[in-house]
Amino acid sequence: MSRRRTHILTHILLILICFLIIVPIYWVIKTSLTGENLFNYPPSLIPRDPHIYFFVDVYYWIPFLRFFMNSVIVSAIVVVSNIVFNAMAGFALGYNFPGKKFIILTYLSCMMVPFQTTIIPAFLLTKYLGLLNTHLGLALPLVSTIINIFVFKTNFDAVPSSLHDAARIDGMADWKMLFRIYLPLARPAIATNIILTFVWSWNNFIWPLIITQDTIMRTLPLGLARFLSYFEDTSGQLYAFVIMVITPIIVVFLMNQRSFISGMMSGAVKG
C-alpha cells in the first residue's frame, strides 16, 4: 500500500476511535446544557435550546463552593507537602550513609502496599489523632509518595557533582544546596510531582468517604456521589455537577498535556 493510502486509513481509524472515546464526554456536556433525555424525543446532536440553569441550580442546591474549596485546600496541602518532603528525601538519598540500604528497602516495600489495604487502620489512626473530618486528616495519608521521592532522586543524581563540590568549597551548608542549587534545576521533577499528587488528591474518593462525617467537609467527588443518591440519575443538574467537577482537572490537563502525560508515565515505571 502506498504511504498516502495508509495514512488516510490511519486517520480514518483514529478519528473513529477518538469519536468513540469522546462521545460520552460530549454527551454529558450536551445534556448538562439542555436537560433532554431520550425519554421524550430522539436525541439531537447539537444542544437544542441550551441554558445554564442546571449549573445555577447545582451552585445553590448544595454548598458547591464549599466542596470546591475543600478539594482545593486538601489538594494544596498535599501538593506542597509532597514537593517539600519528597525533595528532602530524594536529596538525602543521594548521600551514602549508614542504614541507607535499609531505608531504601523500606521505601520500596511501602510502594507495594496499596492504599485500599490500609483503609481500616488508617481510619482508626486518624480517629485517634483526632483528625477525623478535618482538612489535615483528609490530606495526611497522601502527604508523601514514594514514587515521587525516586523521581526527585533520579533528577538530583543527574546534577554534576562538580556543582556540589564547588558550593561546598564556597562554604555553603549542604542543606542549603537543596534549595539554592538542586531544586531550581529540578523543574521537570517538580512538575511531575505536582501533576501526580494533584490528580491523586483531587480525584480521591474512598478516603473522604471514610473520613468525613459532616456534609460541610466533603470534597467534590464525594459531594458528587452523594448528589446522585439524592436526585434521580436522569436529572440535568446531576450532569451539570459532573461537568463542574471534571472541568478543573480537564483544564489543568489540557494546559499541561506534555508534562501530564510524561508525569503519569513515571507513575507506572519505577525510577
Partner 1 sequence: MRRVTGQRRGRILLMIYLFLFPSLAIFLLYRITPIIWNFLLSFQEWQFIGPNIWIGLENYAEMIRDPVFWQSFKNTLFYFFGGTPIAIALAVLIAVLVNNPIRGRNAYRVMIFLPYPITPVAVAIIWQWLYNEKVGLINYVLRTLRLVSDPVPFLQSFKLALPSVIMTTVWQVLGYFVIIVLTGLQTIPDDLYESAELDGANRFTQFFRITLPLIRSTIFLCFIVGIINSFTVFDIIYVMTDGGPGHATEILVTNIYKNAFTFNRMGYAAAMTVFMFLFLMLVTWYSNRISGGEAGGVNYYE
Partner 2 sequence: MSLAGRLSEFGRANLGRIVFIVAVVLALLIWNIHVRLNDDGFVTGVVLTPEGDPVQGATVQLREQTLNLLKEPRTEQTDEQGRFVFTDIEMIEFVISAKLEGVGTSERPRYHLYFMRQNFELPEPLVLKAGS
Q: Which residues bind partner 2 (CB under 8 A)?
A: 51-53, 56-57, 60-61, 255
Contacted by 56, from partner 2, partner 1, none: CB < 5 to 8 Å by type = partner 2
Q: Which is nearer to partner 1, 216 or 247 (CB)?
A: 247
The least CB distance from residue 181 to partner 2, in Å, is 15
DSSP string, 52-90: -HHHHHHHHHTTHHHHHHHHHHHHHHHHHHHHHHHHHHH
Cα-based distances in Å from 66 to 41, 73, 121, 215, 257: 37, 10, 28, 10, 28
Contacted by 89, from partner 1, partner 2, none: CB < 5 to 8 Å by type = partner 1
List the one residue from 74, 79, 186, 224 that touches partner 1 (CB under 8 A).
224
Residue 268 cell numbers, joined: 507506572
Could you say which residues in the range 229-258 bind partner 1, by CB under 8 A?
A: 233-234, 238-239, 242, 245-246, 249-250, 253-254, 257
List the one residue from 69, 72, 80, 103 that touches partner 1 (CB under 8 A).
103
Cα-based distances in Å from 91 to 3, 154, 182: 50, 10, 8
List the one residue from 141, 153, 192, 218 that touches partner 1 (CB under 8 A).
141
How big is the chain, counted in residues?
271
CA distance 243 to 258: 23
CA distance 245 to 243: 5
List the one residue from 96, 160, 162, 169 that touches partner 1 (CB under 8 A).
96
68 is an interface residue for partner 1 by CB under 8 A: no
28 is an interface residue for partner 1 by CB under 8 A: yes
The least CB distance from residue 60 to partner 2, in Å, is 5
160 is an interface residue for partner 1 by CB under 8 A: no
269 is an interface residue for partner 1 by CB under 8 A: yes
Cα-based distances in Å from 9 to 15, 21, 195: 10, 18, 35
CA distance 145 to 140: 11
Select the span of 46-54, 56-64, 113-121, 185-193 touching partner 1 (CB under 8 A). Answer: 113-121
CA distance 60 to 221: 17
136 is an interface residue for partner 1 by CB under 8 A: no
Contacted by 242, from partner 2, partner 1, none: CB < 5 to 8 Å by type = partner 1
CB 152 within 8 A of CB 186: yes
The least CB distance from residue 222 to partner 1, in Å, is 8
> With b meaning 16 or more CB within 10 Å and e meaning fewer, what string describes 5-19?
eeeeeeeeeeeeeee
213 is an interface residue for partner 1 by CB under 8 A: no
